[in-house]
Structure 1
Amino acid sequence: MATEPVPIFTSVIDAHPIPAIATREAARFDALVSEFTQRFGHKPAYIARAPGRVNIIGEHIDYALFGVFPAAVEQDVLIACARRPDDLVLDGGERGHVHAQNLQPKYTPQTFAPMLRDAAITQNTEQSASSHVRLHQWHLDIDPRQLRWESYVKAGYYGVLERFFTPSGSAALESEPVNTDILVTGTIPAGSGLSSSAAMVVASTLAFLAVNDKLDIATPDAPTRRITKGELVSMAVENEKRVGVNSGGMDQAASVTALPSTALYISFYPVFHAEPVPLPIRRTARKAVWVCANSLVQSEKVLGAKTRYNLRVVETLVAARILARVLGLSALLASGDSKFTLREVLAAYVGSGEAKGAPAPALTPEQLSAGLERMLDEVERLRPARLAAREAGADAAQADAAGEELGLTYDEMVRFSGLDAAAFHATYLSWVEVEATRFQIYKRTKHVFSEALRVLRFRAADADALPESTLHDLGALMSASQASCSALFECSCPELDALTALALRSGAYGSRLTGAGWGGCTVSLVAEDEAEAFIARLVAGYPPYAGLGDEARREAVFATVPSNGAFVFKLG
């Protein structure tokens, strides 16, 4: 799937093959085109579309390079865009000037233009030990400390500028980015855990590729070819980092590569790989659906990054180094102060011969499951008392202490990593801001390995006709995931805990948070013939829903089907 070209459609029924959905989306497209024309005085040339996603299972393990199991949802971001006509000047004449508006009135119109700045670098050459080279780099004002809607638009734009318009050695450009008008709308609630931020970045990346005629590119191997889904995922992942989120790639991959009526098994090691997996929920003795329920606690990755999302990234990376030392994986440790992930630790531990970027050999799902079961035993060696006993040369197996503090201080973490303080900071903290008094290496690692195993067990469910007991098994995996997210990864919150517990009491087979956590949505597996009654019980039993109107409640709790992935719609 990663090698397939990004689709370009010219008819709504091709973009949305289900007639009822096509009729609804055609009306949305027409309304967006009409509004764009009224605001900018000319018609849009394209509509870029990127869906949100629901992560069925596999939370906070993508940046450890373990596989995840998401599906795209119907809710999406649409961006209508066009090159501004030369005779229509809205603002200054800067190259690549953008006038961006949003249909949501709370998001004010924005105008911005990229600037080329000089950047001096030192380059080693054969002729000289070092020489100074002048490069020209694009600059867009993106402040990751402030959550502004246009930052996601700028992030997508930045990646297009960097890939297609950055000169070297001279400020002269072979071609220049065009002046662009864009109008944004969407149906993904912000901060809901359905990945509105990734959808915004994917859609804006696509919009700027389309309006600058960069969807089809020339390569040494092909005079012209379409940008692939895998390339778009890579661009979007890097682009979202510019707003301060070190994403693992699951959100972008789901938004880009999804197919209707299927989930995706997305793996990242040794190479990015996405495959459609038919869900058994439509073929069991009793059909089931997914119900998403918004906790109404807004979860913004950027605002809480230092103490939440980015901190977890750092904890899992440091955990990989400490575990590699405990297991004596000298080949990994020989890389000095470079970072490696828990997935790479597992590969070295089982002797798979895998290497990042190399397509083969790769562990089969069965081999990976067996390796994860072994690693879950080894994780116990990361308990602080055992780490301290190992360092002191004592019997680490007997070092558990009742009620011991499971977190490490910063100094302890540095010491157990085997790096000196300067090398540790350069490797793990120089590129990201985090705040913590205790670093939960043991708990985070146990969650990552156990969650990765749950994903594989979920994926292994046979998609053919199955008894209803299969739904109970899948639901149990989802509920175990929620328990781990709450107790070990600590990415839940009281509202999510209450909402998932209510879902189970209301008849769900299983329920868990979805998305980064700390707010946002839950996803529950529910019998299709019970969906309406289930939703009514959630609405009645979750106090924050009491003050919502009918339309707001429908947006807060809804059943969903797997949706098509990102595409560009070319207007005639």
Structure 2
Amino acid sequence: MDYADQAIPVYTNLTDVFGGIGASLQSIERWNGLAQEFEKKFGRKPSYIARAPGRVNLIGEHIDYALFGVLPAAVEPDILIACGPTSTSTSGSGSVVAENLHGKYSRQEFSPIVRGRSVDDTTHVEEWHLDINTKELRWESYVKAGYYGVLQHYFPSSKGTVEKGPVPVDLLVTGSVPAGSGLSSSAAMVVASTLAFLAVNDKLGHGPERPSTLTKGQLVKMAMENEKTSCMDQAASVMSDPASALYISFYPALKASPASLPPGVVFVIANSLVISDKAVTAKTNYNLRVVETLVAARVLARTFGVEVGQERITLREVVGKYSGETPGNWLSVEKLATALEDVLEKLDVLKAREGSRSGVTMEEMVEMSGLAPDAFHRIYLSWIDVKATHFELYKRAKHVFSEALRVLQFRQVCLESQDSTEGDVAGYRRKLGDLMNESQESCAELFNCSCPEIDQLTKLARSAGAIGSPFLGAGWGGCTVSMVAEHQVKGFISKIRDEYPPYQSLDEAALGEAIFATKPGRGACGESPRRLAYKKRSDYQPVFSTEGLNMWFCP
């Protein structure tokens, strides 16, 4: 069965959640501390604690929104949300009081309301509304984003009323995923929020007697209901598998399957300490790349004789249509790899028609698209803010296609390594490392989404013994992920700490957060819930979980 079709499973103890007793014991105090703080703030114990981890994308940067597959894995840093229904609220159905343990985030109170919206002249619909500030990156916006998906799916409205509304909720949030680092703290917050609101509204089962009917794929789609991104980050948080990368494909539908990694490797996450402020730089960075890849897809479709109407088409769809892909007759992984190799030889049409430059002007881009200027603006520019004088269609498309091919090659190496002898393992590791390094080079030179600090950090990582070391996340700062032989991890981290200049002013605690080792998250188990049997027992026991994403309840 595809991972996306699996039901949300049941965990029984922290050892299963974190992949070992050591990690479990380290986590108990944090979980108990959160529960105790909840009781101090709200006068009662929480009913649930929801957890969602950050994610590391081993390879496949900036290709998910072109609908090509990626290879992420969950990491240990996470978001925890202690929550419980309250009967004392006077703010109406579904009201929320949200607190955050981090001192810089203030207490927030909000309530969902039902509003009418006109679809066209004859159609009027009622739907839930949460006041989400899209102009600022506010922490509670991600809580609201998760809540929105639950409201839309489980509390349908009709003529401004809801038969049985959501319950009032108190929340207390804490997190160890660095914001703006590329570990996807925002998606972790949305996933944890989604699961928390499902739990307090009794939309999940309670163990083997009342198993959940919600699949992992459905949970991912619900978690991204109000985030205008692809679902890679949410899928990695929900579906990641132990000792494996997770091959996630998005077209024609969300699917996920494990790609087991060669034994003896650990991934070291190193924060460059450069924070990419999406709200400030989106016009020239992320948003611009989205538009460039979409326009490149239209130009290629026109060149290849692929019919495109007034809609936006992605690079993955162009490759499929060019290769004769039809509904029900989708390209296999092997045929997709062959198609990518073919298309990579035919990208010169995306370059400027005169001169030596690769970038094209706005006027040239519109002409290449075959659209009238007003139609081009409506389709490609009216829904997103971008700023540029030249658009690098060739470089962006070359990165996307070559990166998509590297993902498939990485997956194949992982599959082949499972039947290898001990003597062959080093060779498979090296192949994976080479692909990761090629990814970093492509991101830096073709997609221009690296930065000087990331370039320096990846170079240091390779000199310190990393088998492969690219950046991860949206780029322009954030973290690097280095594949390191397990027996070299301690020395590797020590060398990076000593040689990366921004680390010199950090104390030991800050260094521990800036650079750390991790393995892909533990998978789910299906045993019946039982009390934890540790010397320092938790007051909580796990009930619901997806790989790396766990629900606990008060016994």
User: Structure 2 length normalisation: TM-score?
Assistant: 0.90
Return the match for 1:180 from 156, 164, 169.
169
Sequence identity percentage: 53
Alpha-carbon separation, structure 2, partners of 1:51 and 1:224: 23
Question: For 1:532, what is the secondary structure of its paired residue?
Answer: helix
Find the counterpart in structure 2 of residue 436 from structure 1.
388
CA contact (8 A) 2:351 2:358 kept: yes
Tell me the SS of whatever aligns to 2:387: coil
Query: Is the Cα contact below 8 Å between 2:361 and 2:389 reproduced in 1?
Result: yes
Structure 1 residues 185 and 341, CA gap change in structure 2 (3 angstroms): same
User: Cα distance, 1:31 vs. partner?
Assistant: 1.5
**1:99 is paired with a residue of what secondary structure?**
strand
For residues 140 and 174 of structure 1, do their structure 2 counterparts lie closer, same or farther at Cα, with a shift above 3 Å needed?
same
Q: Residues of 2 paired with 1:183 and 1:313: CA distance?
A: 35
1:364 to 324, 332, 343: 332
Distance in 2 between residues matched to 1:531 and 1:255, nearest whole Å: 24
Of 245, 248, 252, the match for 1:266: 248
Which of 3, 8, 13 is residue 6 of structure 1 equivalent to? Answer: 8
Is 1:240 the counterpart of 2:240? The answer is no
Q: What's 2:40 paired with?
A: 38
Aligned match of 2:417: 463
User: Is the Cα contact below 8 Å between 1:486 and 1:492 reproduced in 2?
Assistant: yes
Unpaired runs of 5+ in structure 1? 124-130, 218-222, 242-246, 389-400
Deviations 1:353-394 (A, max 9, x none): 2x4xxxx32222221111111011011221112xx6xxxxxx
CA displacement, residues 454-495 of structure 1 (integer Å, 9 cap, x when unaligned):
111111112333241222221111111101001111111111
C-alpha contact (below 8 Å) 1:81/1:180 kept by paired residues: yes
Instruction: Report how far residue 570 of structure 1 moved.
Output: 2.5
CA distance 1:60–1:536, change in 2 (3 Å): same
| 235, 238, 243: which one aligns with 1:256 | 238
Q: Secondary structure at the match of 1:47?
A: strand
Of 343, 346, 350, the residue aligned with 2:323 is: 350
Q: Which amino acid aligns with 2:470?
A: R
What residue is the counterpart of 1:445 in the other structure? 397
Contact 2:130–2:144 (8 Å) recurs in 1:
yes
How far apart are residue 108 of structure 1 and its match? 1.1
Quick check: 2:266–2:485 contact (8 Å CA) kept in 1?
A: yes
Q: Which TM-score applies when normalising by structure 1?
A: 0.87
Could you say which residue in structure 2 is the equivalent of 1:515?
Answer: 473
Q: How many residues align?
A: 519
The aligned residue for residue 156 of structure 1 is 146
Q: Deviations over 1:185-224 (max 9, x none)?
A: 111111111111110111111111111122359xxxxx99
| 1:519-540 per-position Cα deviation (integer Å, ceiling 9, x unaligned) | 1000111122111111111111
Say whether the 8 Å CA contact 1:301–1:516 is kept in structure 2. Answer: no
**1:421 is matched with which residue: 332, 355, 373?**
373
My pick for the range that moved more, 426-435 or 410-419, is 426-435
Measured at CA, do residues 263 and 408 of structure 1 come closer, stay the same or move farther in structure 2, by a change above 3 Å?
A: same
Deviations 1:214-246 (A, max 9, x none): 2359xxxxx9952111011112223222xxxxx
Q: Which residue of 1 aligns with 2:534?
A: none
**Alpha carbons 1:147, 1:303 under 8 Å: kept:** no
Kindly state the Cα deviation for residue 258 of structure 1 after the two structures are TM-superposed: 0.8
Structure 2 counterpart of 1:252, one-letter code:
Q
User: Aligned residue for 2:296?
Assistant: 319
Letter of the 1:472 counterpart: R
Q: Is the 8 A contact 1:98 1:180 kept in 2?
A: yes
Unaligned runs of 5+ in 2: 522-546
Q: What do the CA deviations read for 1:282-340 (whole angstroms, capped 9, x no partner)?
A: 1xxxx3211110000012444432222222112111111011111222xx32xx11111
Secondary structure of 1:512's counterpart equals coil
Alignment partner, residue 244 of structure 1: none
Q: 1:102 aligns with which of 100, 116, 138?
A: 100
- Give the structure 2 partner of residue 493 of structure 1: 451
SS in 1 for 2:288: helix
**1:294 maps to 2:292:** no
User: Aligned equivalents of 1:262 and 1:467: distance in 2?
Assistant: 15
Distance of 1:195 and 1:300 partners within structure 2: 13
Alignment of 1:17-416 (within 5 A): 17-84=19-86, 86=87, 88-89=88-89, 92-122=90-120, 131=122, 133-168=123-158, 170-215=159-204, 226-241=213-228, 247-280=229-262, 282=263, 287-329=264-306, 332-333=307-308, 336-353=309-326, 355=327, 360-385=328-353, 401=355, 404-416=356-368
Q: Which sits farther off after the overlay, 306-315 or 341-350?
A: 306-315
Q: Which amino acid in the other structure matches residue 569 of structure 1?
A: W
Give deviations 1:501-552, integer Å, cap 9, x for gaps.
Answer: 1111112121100111111000111122111111111111110000000111
Counterparts in 2 of 1:549 and 1:225: CA distance versus 1, 3 Å: closer
